[in-house]
Amino acid sequence: MKKIFGRDLAIDIGTANTVFYRAHHGVVLNEPSVICINTDSGAVLSVGSDARSMVGRTPDNIVSIRPLKDGVVADFETAQKMLRMFMEQVGMRRLFSKPTVVVAVPPVVTSVEHRAIKDAAFAAGARKVYIMEEPMAAAIGAGLPVQEPMGSMIVDIGGGTTDVAVISLGGIVTSRSIRIGGDALDAAIVGYIKNEHSLLIGERTAEELKMAIGSAYKSHDDATARIRGRDLVTGLPKDLLVSAKEVHAAIEDSLIKIITAIKNTLEETPPDLVSDLSRNGIMLAGGGALLNGLTDRLRFETGMPVNVAEDPLYAVVNGAGKCVENIELLKKILLPEQK
Ligand code: ADP
Ligand code: MG
């Protein structure tokens, strides 16, 4: 077979992270979905990790924005700008001669916004642009048999949202998306530390705490972590030793919402597919899938097998990447309006 040069791209614009995948190469960009803008001039100052390091540290006339936060594309023009900057960063115009681009978007993105995403990709030099839904991309990336007449469940826990979908015969049978994801867990930790210890910590600190000692299962271990924040009484910096049990208590309400979304989706799934699911189980993707104890907790709550995709943070882009490498597969699972 003739060697195929990977000039085509798959893109996952997540609420927390944006990932680019170059056909037959793999991931070529992985950056936080953050853009930093000067509000006086409208100029883009930075995107990605550079912009992220400015969050909470900017003067009045500079804002760092997560344009896709909560999975709602609140500020679409900003999202478009960010996408354009990332496309420039990977040298799309230079490296790729008129690539085909597949962009995975959250299910809540409207068709008007699809148009805007396509326009951004065309402006950056794409020849053809396809839009696919993230749950489908995640399922393909996780290796689920999406085209078989058999139910598969994918749960993608991102920063802003958790998307639950049951897929069969190349289509989404039932799905739901809730605005609870990793960000909500971080915010809950900030709230807990404030209420219980009168200590104000930033969301980045809360996220680090979650990754270090957070657990979805009532923790029996005695893990602790030391954090630093501002004492709300004295206004001065203060250290605090936090236990895994406390972090668990902080995130439990949000976890229950995620579990409920999964159970509700199961209830709406046709019986024959449910019996497939009870055999094949639930596949987890997204960064939230990495939370300690989550698979055990979900097994306990649903009585079903639970697995984590091989590269949960890359499941969506790997799935979109498989599609850009195999246009026949792509055409079978595209949104109806694009077929
Ligand atoms: P999105 O698709 O919305 O951009 P991602 O799939 O990139 O989101 O996941 C980002 C979320 O995953 C963040 O909220 C982050 O805190 C969380 N996350 C990443 N690694 C871990 C971990 N080891 N434990 C718990 N949460 C994690
Ligand atoms: Mg995602």
Strand-pairing partners, residue 306, are 282
Q: Tell me: the pLDDT tens digits for 214-229?
A: 999 877 778 999 999 9
**Sole residue written with tokens 């229950």:** 256
- From the CA of 160, give the closest atom in ligand 1: 3
Distance from residue 45's CA to the centre of ligand 1 (Å):
25
Residue 332 is predicted with a pLDDT of 83
Percent of residues, the chain, with pLDDT higher than 90? 71
Distance from residue 313's CA to the centre of ligand 1 (Å):
7
Task: Quote the Cα angle for 206-61-42, to 5°.
Answer: 105
Instruction: Please determine, for residue 71, whether its predicted confidence score (pLDDT) is greater than 70.
Output: no
Does 207 sit in the ligand 1 pocket, CB within 6 Å? yes
* pLDDT interval class at 3 (50, 70, 90): very low
Residue 147 is predicted with a pLDDT of 93
Mean pLDDT of 95-106: 86
Instruction: Looking at the CA of 134, name the nearest ligand.
Output: 2
Residue 1 is predicted with a pLDDT of 39
Mean pLDDT of 105-113: 79
Distance from residue 184's CA to the centre of ligand 1 (Å):
11
* pLDDT interval class at 183 (50, 70, 90): very high
Lowest average pLDDT, out of 46-60, 164-178, 202-216, goes to 46-60
Instruction: Please determine, for residue 107, whether its predicted confidence score (pLDDT) is greater than 90.
Output: no
Mean pLDDT, the chain, whole residue set: 91
Does 287 sit in the ligand 1 pocket, CB within 6 Å? yes
Does 159 sit in the ligand 1 pocket, CB within 6 Å? yes
More confident residue, 77 or 285: 285
Residue 329 is predicted with a pLDDT of 85
Residue 2 is predicted with a pLDDT of 41
Q: What is the DSSP string of 95-155?
A: HSSS-EEEEEE-TT--HHHHHHHHHHHHHTT-SEEEEEEHHHHHHHHTT--TTSSS-EEEE
Distance from residue 233's CA to the centre of ligand 1 (Å):
32
Distance from residue 91's CA to the centre of ligand 1 (Å):
27
Q: What is the DSSP string of 3-31?
A: PPP---EEEEE-SSEEEEEETTTEEEEEE
Mean pLDDT of 259-282: 95
Q: How far is CA 290 from CA 21, 137, 294, 309, 311, in A?
A: 21, 19, 8, 10, 10
Does 212 sit in the ligand 1 pocket, CB within 6 Å? no
Q: How far is CA 262 from CA 129, 136, 266, 313, in A?
A: 32, 16, 6, 20
- From the CA of 185, give the closest atom in ligand 1: 14
